[in-house]
Amino acid sequence: MDADEGLASGKCRRGERGGISVIRKIAIGVMGPGAGATLADLQNAFQIGQIIAREGWVLLTGGRNAGVMDAASQGAKQANGLTVGILPTDGTGTIYEGISEAVDIAIFTGMGSARNNINVLSSDVLIACGMGAGTASEIALALKANKKVILLNDDAGSQVFFKSLSPQNVFVAGTPEEAIGRVREVLG
């Protein structure tokens, strides 16, 4: 695929940096709980990962072999997608311990939970699949950065709360297909 095909298909974005025209692939961040993920969260994340890969977008997660991060990465890999994991560790010791086997590009930050800001700023759009403290922090950071967030969860309290913070940037979806439909709308 050349640059024009990528732009026409919605798989790439054009921008400008320092007067230089840049074309890069679209990265969709999928965030959600690790250990606290529900079965529905895991199923939704897996399906979202598959759809992201089929769209030709890059999947970006927290990269660990737990919960939503692993499920989304596994789904994307099953559909031959490219996966990026932004990891909280520094990569020393047993380097692959705790990393999803479905992560193609592992980025070690040594930043612990502070790496959540890298997850957010490196994503064109975020899909929050489920809810936990780390997920809530990523959503808050995304809203602070004026990023679009799609909430795929059935927690009415979190939906109301985040929509009250930034109604123009928060969208609620009931299914993975609806979440991806919202991503397409946001990307235009």
Closest CA to 180 of 150, 140, 147: 150
Which of the two residues, 28 and 24, has the higher pLDDT score? 28
The two tokens of residue 15 are: 């921008």
Q: At 174, which helix (H) or strand (E)?
A: none
Q: How far apart are CA 4 and CA 18, in angstroms?
A: 21
Distance separating alpha carbons of residues 16 and 120, to the nearest angstrom:
20
Domains of the chain, earliest start first? 16-187 (3.40.50.450)
| CA distance between the termini of the chain | 20
| Closest to 116 measured CA to CA, from 149, 152, 87 | 87
Give the DSSP letter string of 65-103: SSHHHHHHHHHHHHTT--EEEEESS-S-SSTTTTB-TT-
Half-sphere exposure of 111 (CA within 13 A, CB side): 13
Strand partners, 68: none
Specify the pLDDT at position 89: 87
Q: Average pLDDT of 57-75?
A: 97
Whether residue 6 has pLDDT greater than 60: no
| For range 57-83, the mean pLDDT | 97
Is pLDDT at 167 greater than 90 in this prediction? yes
Task: Name the pLDDT band for 96 (thresholds 50, 70, 90).
Answer: low
The proportion of the chain whose per-residue pLDDT surpasses 70, expressed as a percent, equals: 86
- Is pTM, for the whole model, over 0.85? yes
What's the pLDDT at 169? Answer: 97
Residues 153, 123: Cα–Cα separation, whole Å? 20
